[in-house]
Amino acid sequence: MSDSPERMVAVVVRVASPGVPAFQLRKGEQGISVFDPAAVDPLLSEDEILAAFRPGSVVIYRSVAVIEEHGLQLEHTPGAESLPERLRIAHCEIGPGVGMDRPAFKVALRNLE
């Protein structure tokens, strides 16, 4: 029996380097790139995502609910041309909530670590 929609948890995947904060804005960045595995059919696998990044990269899962609980917004945006097509389609950005300034945005992102 398949899971009902009520039991399914929407998650996004962040790719990071071990030992480096995964949810830290770099200078000039307006959001944090993540992938929605359910945006494509079949679902993106961890291996498929990691294959597009440097060896040694790791994936970090966060639920959409947790992201939104911190006042952040998730927006589907086209991924970089350098990414495989399925990852471009599944690309999203975590951005600041309505009226959130950059310092508050950075604090909210740190709370996702």
* Cα–Cα dist 61/29, whole Å: 21
* Cα–Cα dist 4/10, whole Å: 13
Name the nearest CA neighbour of 87 among 39, 55, 28: 39
Q: Which residues pair with 14 in a beta bridge?
A: 60
pLDDT, one tens digit per residue, over 14-70 is 999 999 999 999 899 999 999 999 999 999 999 999 999 999 999 999 999 999 999
Type and span of the H or E element at 68: helix 64-69
pLDDT, one tens digit per residue, over 67-87 is 999 999 999 999 999 999 999
Complete DSSP assignment for 75-113: EE-PPPTTS-HHHHHHEEEEEPPTT--HHHHHHHHHTT-
* Cα–Cα dist 8/102, whole Å: 32
Q: Which residues touch 113 (CB under 8 Å, ≥6 apart)?
A: 21, 22, 23
What does the pLDDT read at residue 95? Answer: 98
What does the pLDDT read at residue 9? Answer: 72
What does the pLDDT read at residue 8? Answer: 63
